[in-house]
């Protein structure tokens, strides 16, 4: 796929960019001899050569002060196989101040560092209290460092602990991962419904290839075979890692999470079909564990209870006859 091959590229349509109406008249961006222009060109070269896997950036031919980036959620996190879009703007005094960044949230709060209005809370952006060594450094900090920080520090395996007031709690961390995964699934629905410009084919092909993985993950999480965030399509659902489940142990799944997964599953399924994904066998989210329990407990279990009641009844009748 062309979009996947080119991690960094130039595009022309900036009509839906968050910052398209800002700094339009700034002469510093059009002056090829200015320090700001030269620094931005340097940033472009760094991005072109050094972008890591699963981060893609588009620059704009007529607005060198704007960028758009997408980060693919990493395996082993509740954000796996999702897409996270960010609109970036270089301020007119760049690099004296860090870039402005807007996250495409669709109104969801799926991470302590990512706000529903689109704000990104991060030390290197000077939007999070931190030591001077972690803040934006005009001499050394780059857009690449910002994107890698979001990928590795924000969209991580235990986002609950990103909150400054978080205390160690596996239960709370798991609950946060559950919510984060569901909200990411809702975001997937909206992304396919209205993909960011210049990434339409990227979004469509990504979910055409990975849609079945997200649906399979919903099944595993809903049926308690894997802890939320740890599904792997290559794992055969067994011994995924220390936090995953094996075939001999079922994780208890709360009903609200199950219900949320069912809703998200239905929404994603329809959109994945629109992308052309092959979804044979994924029409419904089967709750297999419930079926097994109902067969075992509702079959043999009910039979044993019924026999027990009959024995008690027969025993009481015998006693009554003997007393008479």
Distance of alpha carbon 130 from alpha carbon 145, whole angstroms = 16
- Asked whether residue 115 carries a pLDDT value surpassing 80, the answer given is yes
pLDDT at 304: 52
Lowest mean pLDDT among 106-115, 127-136, 183-192, 236-245: 236-245
pLDDT for residue 3: 47
Residue 9's beta-bridge partner residues?
Answer: 58
Q: Please name which of 185, 113, 116, 127 lies closest in space to residue 156, comparing C-alpha atoms.
A: 113
**Does position 139 have pLDDT exceeding 60, yes or no?**
yes
- Predicted confidence at residue 26, as pLDDT, reads 57
With H, G, I as helix, E, B as strand and everything else as coil, classify residue 100. strand
Report which of 143, 117, 154, 125 is spatially closest to residue 58, judged by C-alpha positions.
143
Q: How far is CA 297 from CA 31, 69, 231, 303, in A?
A: 76, 51, 28, 9
Whole-number pLDDT of residue 24: 64
Average pLDDT over residues 208-230: 96
At 146 the three-state DSSP class reads helix
**How far apart are the C-alpha atoms of 259 and 106, rounded to whole Å?**
21
Which pLDDT band holds residue 311 (cuts at 50, 70, 90)? low
In our burial notation (b when 16+ CB lie closer than 10 A, e otherwise), range 75-94 reads: bbbbbbbbbbbbbbbbbbeb
> Across residues 192-218, what is the average pLDDT?
98
Beta bridge partners of residue 101, listed in sequence order: 88
pLDDT band at residue 53 under the 50/70/90 scheme: very high
Output Rg (C-alpha) for the chain, integer angstroms.
Answer: 26
| pLDDT, position 293 | 46
What local confidence, expressed as pLDDT, does residue 131 receive?
Answer: 87
pLDDT for residue 28: 74
> In this predicted structure, what is the pLDDT of residue 315?
57
Task: Establish whether 121 is a catalytic residue.
Answer: yes
Q: Above 70 in pLDDT, residue 21?
A: yes
Cα–Cα nearest to 184, from 114, 259, 125, 274: 114
103 in Cβ contact with 118 (< 8 Å): yes
Helix (H) or strand (E) holding 255: helix 255-274
* Spatial distance between the Cα atoms of 182 and 93, rounded to a whole number of angstroms: 39
Predicted confidence at residue 4, as pLDDT, reads 56
pLDDT interval class at 233 (50, 70, 90): confident
| 303 pLDDT above the threshold of 80 | no
The fraction of the chain above a pLDDT of 90, given in percent, is: 75
Task: Using the predicted structure, report yes or no on whether residue 280 has a pLDDT greater than 50.
Answer: yes
Provide CB contacts within 8 A for 244, sequence distance 6+.
226, 227, 230, 235
CA–CA separation, 250 vs 221, rounded Å?
10
Identified catalytic residue from 28, 121, 233, 275: 121
pLDDT score of 245: 43
């Amino acid at each position: 796929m062309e979009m996947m091959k080119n991690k960094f590229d130039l595009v022309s349509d900036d009509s839906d960019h968050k910052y398209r109406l800002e700094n339009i008249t700034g002469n510093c961006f059009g002056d090829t001899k200015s320090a700001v222009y030269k620094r931005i060109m340097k940033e472009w070269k760094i991005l072109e050569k050094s972008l890591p896997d699963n981060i893609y950036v588009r620059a704009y031919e007529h607005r060198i002060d704007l960028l758009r980036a997408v980060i693919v959620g990493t395996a082993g996190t509740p954000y796996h196989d999702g897409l996270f879009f960010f609109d970036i703007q270089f301020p007119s005094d760049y690099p004296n101040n860090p870039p402005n960044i807007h996250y495409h949230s669709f109104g969801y709060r799926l991470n302590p560092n990512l706000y529903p209005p689109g704000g990104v809370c991060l030390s290197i952006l000077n939007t999070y209290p931190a030591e001077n060594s972690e803040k934006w450094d005009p001499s050394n900090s780059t857009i690449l460092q910002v994107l890698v920080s979001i990928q590795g520090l924000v969209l991580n395996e235990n986002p609950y602990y990103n909150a400054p007031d978080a205390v160690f709690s596996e239960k709370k961390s798991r609950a946060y991962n559950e919510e984060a995964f569901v909200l990411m699934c809702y975001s997937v629905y909206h992304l396919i419904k209205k993909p960011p410009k210049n990434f339409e084919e990227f979004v469509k092909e990504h979910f055409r290839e990975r849609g079945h993985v997200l649906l399979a993950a919903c099944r595993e999480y809903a049926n308690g075979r894997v802890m939320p965030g740890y599904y792997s399509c290559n794992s055969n659902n067994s011994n995924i890692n220390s936090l995953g489940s094996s075939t001999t142990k079922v994780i208890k799944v709360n009903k609200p999470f199950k219900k949320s997964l069912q809703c998200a599953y239905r929404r994603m399924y329809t959109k994945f079909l629109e992308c052309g994904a092959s979804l044979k066998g994924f029409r419904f989210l089967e709750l297999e564990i419930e079926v097994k329990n109902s067969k075992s407990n509702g079959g043999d279990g009910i039979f044993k209870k019924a026999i027990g009641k009959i024995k008690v009844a027969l025993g009481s009748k015998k006693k009554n006859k003997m007393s008479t």
